[in-house]
Amino acid sequence: MQNSIIIADDHPLILKGLNDFLLEKNYNVLASAVNGKEALQLIEDLQPDIAILDIQMPFLTGLEIAKKCQDEKYATKIVFITFEKDETLYFKAKALNTYGYVLKEFALTEIENCISSVLNNTPYFSPELIAHLNHIETPKELELLTPTERDVLKLIAQNLTAKEIGEHMFISGRTVEKHKSHIIKKLNIEPIQNSLLIWVKENQEFLL
C-alpha cells in the first residue's frame, strides 16, 4: 500500500505548489490544511504515514501539533517545512522527535529526499540549515561546567530521571540533584520548574 501524506501551510501559494508537486510525483496526498487546527484534525481522522507541516500556523503551530501527536502516541511522522533558521525552533523540533526539518526555499528540491529518508525511519534535516547552525558558537557557559556536570546534562537530554542518572553514574539521586543545582547556577538559568530540562532541550546539540 502506498504511503500516505497530509500537508498543511497557511500560505496558499506554498500549499498549492507543494501539493501539486507531490501529486505530480505520484505521492499519495490524502488532504491538505490551511491552519494547525485543521491539520491536527486530519492527522486524527486519517492517520497518515507522514504529515508535512509549516511550523508557524494559526490556531496551532507545527510544534504544538507535534507535541500532541507525541502525547497521543500517533504513528504519523512529522516533517516541518519553514523559512525559519532559528536554532531554538530547530532544537525544539528535535526534542519532539520530529522526522524532518526542510527549509521552504529548498522544499521542492529536498522534499523527495526527505520523504524517502523518513520512510526509512531516518530523520532528515535540511543541509543548508545544518550548515547555518554549525556557524553558531557553543554557549560559553558550558566551559564553566565540570566533566561530571556535563555528563549529567547529557543524561538529562536523554529524559532520564535523577534516580536513573544516579544509577547510570553510580551516585545517589541526592548527589545528582546537587549537581543539577550547581549547573543551574553556573548556566544562570532561572530556577523554575523544568527550566534545566528546557535549557538542555534547546542546547542539546552542544552536549553530544
DSSP of 128-173, one letter per residue?
HHHHHHTTSPPPGGGGGS-HHHHHHHHHHHTT--HHHHHHHHTS-H
Nearest to 50 by CA among 24, 25, 22: 22
pLDDT for residue 46: 94
Are residues 121 and 145 located together in one domain of the fold? no
| Pair (108, 10) in one structural domain | yes
Which pLDDT value is given to residue 5?
94
The span from the CA of 88 to the CA of 92, in Å, is 6
Same domain, 112 and 160: no
Q: Are strands 50-54 and 124-125 parallel, antiparallel or unpaired?
A: unpaired
Number of domains making up the chain: 2
Instruction: Report yes or no on 96 lying in a domain.
Output: yes
Shared domain check, 117 and 43:
yes
Asked if the structure places residue 187 within a domain, the reply is yes
Domain boundary among 72, 102, 133: 133
Q: CA 44, 48, 49, 54 torsion: positive or negative?
A: negative
What CATH number does the domain containing 15 carry? 3.40.50.2300
173 is a domain residue: yes
Residue 52: per-residue pLDDT: 94
pLDDT digits (tens, 9 = 90+) for 39-98: 999 999 999 999 999 988 999 999 999 999 988 989 999 999 888 777 777 878 888 888
Assess whether 116 and 15 both reside in one domain: yes
208 domain residue, yes or no: no
b or e along 14-32 (b: 16 or more beta carbons within 10 Å of the residue's beta carbon)? bbeebbeebeeeebebbbb
**147 and 125 share one domain:** no
| 77 strand-pairing partners | 50
Statement to judge: residues 87 and 145 lie in one domain: no
Its pTM surpasses 0.75 = no
C-alpha cell at 180: 543539577
Among 133, 161, 183, which residue terminates a domain?
133
User: What pLDDT does 134 receive?
Assistant: 67
Identity at 180, one-letter amino acid code: K
- Cβ neighbours for 111, distance < 8 A, ≥ 6 positions apart: 18, 21, 22, 52, 81, 102
List the grid coordinates of 64: 504544538
Q: Give the per-residue pLDDT at 6.
A: 93
Domain range spanning residue 84? 4-133
CATH number at residue 166: 1.10.10.10
Q: What is the pLDDT of residue 135?
A: 60
Domain's final residue, options 101, 133, 165: 133
- pLDDT tens digits in sequence order for the chain, 208 residues long: 578 999 999 998 889 999 999 999 999 999 999 999 999 999 999 999 999 999 889 999 999 999 999 889 899 999 998 887 777 778 788 888 888 888 888 888 888 889 988 888 888 888 777 777 766 556 777 888 898 998 899 888 888 889 999 999 999 999 999 999 999 999 888 877 778 888 887 777 676 5
Return the SS3 of 180.
helix
Q: What is the pLDDT of residue 142?
A: 80
**Do 180 and 149 form a contact (C-beta atoms < 8 A)?**
no
Is 120 part of a structural domain of the chain?
Answer: yes
Q: What is the pLDDT of residue 137?
A: 58
Q: Are residues 57 and 120 in the same domain?
A: yes
The helix or strand, by DSSP H or E, that contains position 28, with its residue range, turns out to be: strand 28-33
Expressed in percent and rounded to 5, the helix, strand and coil fractions of the chain are 55, 15, 30
What does the pLDDT read at residue 194? 79
